[in-house]
Chain A
């Protein structure tokens, strides 16, 4: 069966510090991978998606970047965090060929102070 992991679960960072959130998927090959953010009291906003290694598409201009160094690894980064980067970050995977449901990881709560 497929599983998706995210870490860390919670992170408190000062403004201006770097960020690296990691997501890994097990039990599937060549998945589509996604990063979402849920800001307080708001819906899920798609930040980045990837259809293959090294292929990253950005949905919204922002202070963040994403990378996919391996087939089942997706990383969300920032060089300098802003207060507005606080939120709940979710990684998801989907079957590329089937274009069906996306499955979400447990999420990372980021608080920028």
Chain B
């Protein structure tokens, strides 16, 4: 049972344009959501997060939107740069129901930003 899904395995965007990466989840207990960026042969790097009490969080070129009713979140990168080319993972956690801090990850979306 895939509780966190990233249905697009890949995305190609022109430099300077907007990149939109999508993520869907099924567990209504999730209350904290994160995006990670991963380069080949490296560990994922934390990018941005959002709590379920918010519907938007912005950090520079990165904005995460959360639609709780649709159980959907998205990551917007504006403007996209070639250095943004990487695999992006969405992750979710049910923080207050457990002390484990476990994250459930999606399958990842490979973003390619073309110069």
Contact = CB atoms under 8 A, between A and B. Distances in A.
Nearest to B45: A104
Interface string B77-111: 00000000000010101011001111111111000
Judged by DSSP, the binding face of A is strand
The range of chain B's interface size is 20 to 34
B103 A43 contact: no
How extensive is the interface on chain A, given as a class?
A: 20 to 34
Contacts of B36: 104
Contacts of A36: 105
Interface in B22-41: 32, 34, 36, 41
Interface in A29-77: 32, 34, 36, 42-46, 49, 51, 57, 59
A109 to B, nearest CB: 7
A49 B99 CA distance: 11
Contacts of B42: 106-107
Interface of A: 6, 32, 34, 36, 42-46, 49, 51, 57, 59, 88, 90, 92, 94-96, 99-107, 109
